[in-house]
Structure 1
Amino acid sequence: MSLTIDLNCDMGESFGPWVMGHDEQVIPWVTSVNIACCFHAGDPGTMRQTVALALKHGVKLGAHPGLPDLAGFGRRVMAVTPEQVYDMVVVQVGALAAVARTQGAALHHVKAHGALYNMAARDVGLATAIAQAVADIDRSLILYALAGSIQVQAGRDAGLTVAQEVFADRSYQDDGSLTPRQQAGAMITDAGQSVQQVMQMIEQGTVTSLSGKTVPLSADTLCLHGDQAGAAEFAQRLHQAFEQSGVRVQAV
């Protein structure tokens, strides 16, 4: 059986003189990027520059819409309605699509960011709003969603192709959700442990939760966080592990 995985990374999250992430160092190792659209991070110039960087390296372009929360980097839960979420996604995806078009390119996928991503993973109303917004913009866009979550089914119900996403540096709960960042053990900082978790998810279709339970999931795309220390080195280590195991790295 041939195993493949897409490597995606959140990028374009710098704002004005403030630099976030290691985009130029990480991008040679990924196959798709999720570009911030100015709500949780980024600015118009950064969007343009990040699109150009992605095109230079031949990686797929994705919009990364988030909550309107620059101060909290989009990681704070907000009381938003499905209608408000629909509008947020339409505006952000539309903006990045326009930036891409000015450079002769088109978007490949959409992935919600931070709190919005996690809220939509368990709230059917928000999940449906995101999926419908993407479908109304362009049904050929792929929706990246947390593996096994409500967002996956909402995307399929909207007629979208859905890529189920897994994480190397985040621990999981028994229900397949990510451990909240404020809880102990939420982040996996040991590279060896991260690689082991990734290979289990790809080869066995399972992940071991924080409590030790084996949880089934499907892995189509793997998120790498470009702002973590040693992100480029970790990406190279993943590539080595994939090569040794016969896993092909390619975009969805």
Structure 2
Amino acid sequence: MLKPGINCDLGEGMPNDRLLMPLINYANIACGGHAGNEESVKKTIGLAKQYNVFVGAHPSFPDVENFGRRDLFDSINHDVLRESLCKQISLVHYNCSISGIQMHHVKPHGGLYNRAAVDRRLSELIFDVIEQFNPLPVLFGLSGSEQADWAGERGIKFFHEVFADRSYQDDGTLTPRREPGSLLTNSASVRRQVQQLLEHGTVTALSGTIIKVKAETICIHGDGEHAVEFAKGLRSLQV
């Protein structure tokens, strides 16, 4: 299989952005929904340009208080959500434009990402928003999810994403953060998961079940305590 590039969520106010940027291929830039503002977006885009890293928007439910990790789809007005997502992505798109680069992709964050992977209504709302941007950005989403098929029906290119530092359930979804074992917290376990992915196209779920996955990009969370260490480890595997 072709080796996927590393993506990382940046511009979230964490101290490691400058150390992570040279180690990754795709930067998902927080744009105000859960973290980030115009100043941090500009700064992170400039850093990405310096290292020839593809830039993407990392929008979320408008929920700074909970870092965008809650699923608000059933409680938020959908027109309000649509407007918020458009505003967030526009912030990255505009600042890419004035920096002389293109916005490559959109990767939803947290609760927005997880709900969209299994809910066509939310996915279609996201599609409606990203179709407003030219050139049409790639959508990063959960590997093997139905969202990939839904995006294909709309003519939106989809990158199947696998997480280096998260554990999986038997159905291919991520183990919720509130549950024990949801995060891989040491380099050995991250390396083992990614090596298995690269060699066999599978990951081992928390239960021990082997799951077939497709990986077009691998995520390292920039807010993780060991993010730089993990990214260096992936680079040593020639990801």
TM bucket, shorter chain: over 0.9
Listed as ranges, the gaps of 5+ residues in structure 1 are 15-19, 243-248
Matched residue, 2:48: 54
1:137-216 matched pairs, under 5 angstroms: 137-138=133-134, 140-216=136-212
Distance 1:175 1:181 in 2: 16
Distance 1:182 1:7 in 2: 25
The alpha-carbon deviation at position 59 of structure 1 amounts to: 0.3
In the superposition, the TM-score normalised over structure 2's length comes to 0.94
SS in 2 for 1:170: coil
Matched residue, 2:222: 226
1:7-46 matched pairs, under 5 angstroms: 7-14=6-13, 20-46=14-40
8 Å contact 2:35–2:67 — kept in the other structure?
yes
Distance 2:146 2:121 in 1: 10
The alpha-carbon deviation at position 196 of structure 1 amounts to: 1.0
SS in 2 for 1:4: coil
SS in 2 for 1:155: helix
Distance 2:116 2:140 in 1: 12
The alpha-carbon deviation at position 83 of structure 1 amounts to: 4.3
Pair 1:63-2:57 in alignment = yes
Pair 1:4-2:22 in alignment = no
The alpha-carbon deviation at position 81 of structure 1 amounts to: 5.3
The alpha-carbon deviation at position 82 of structure 1 amounts to: 4.9
Paired letter, 2:192: Q
8 Å contact 1:12–1:36 — kept in the other structure?
yes
The alpha-carbon deviation at position 156 of structure 1 amounts to: 1.3
8 Å contact 1:85–1:130 — kept in the other structure?
no
C-alpha offsets along residues 2-45 of structure 1, whole Å, 9 cap, x if unaligned? Answer: 5221100000112xxxxx24100111100110001111101111
Matched residue, 1:72: 66
Which 4+ stretches in 1 moved above 4 angstroms?
81-84
SS in 2 for 1:3: coil
SS in 2 for 1:39: coil
Paired letter, 1:178: L
Matched residue, 2:122: 126
In the superposition, the TM-score normalised over structure 1's length comes to 0.89
- Stretch moving more, 160-169 or 133-142: 133-142
Q: Percent identity?
A: 39
8 Å contact 2:186–2:226 — kept in the other structure?
no
1:229-240 matched pairs, under 5 angstroms: 229-240=225-236
Paired letter, 2:46: A
Distance 1:103 1:36 in 2: 17
SS in 1 for 2:3: strand
Distance 1:157 1:151 in 2: 10
Distance 2:154 2:15 in 1: 33
SS in 2 for 1:136: coil
Distance 1:53 1:147 in 2: 28
8 Å contact 1:135–1:159 — kept in the other structure?
no
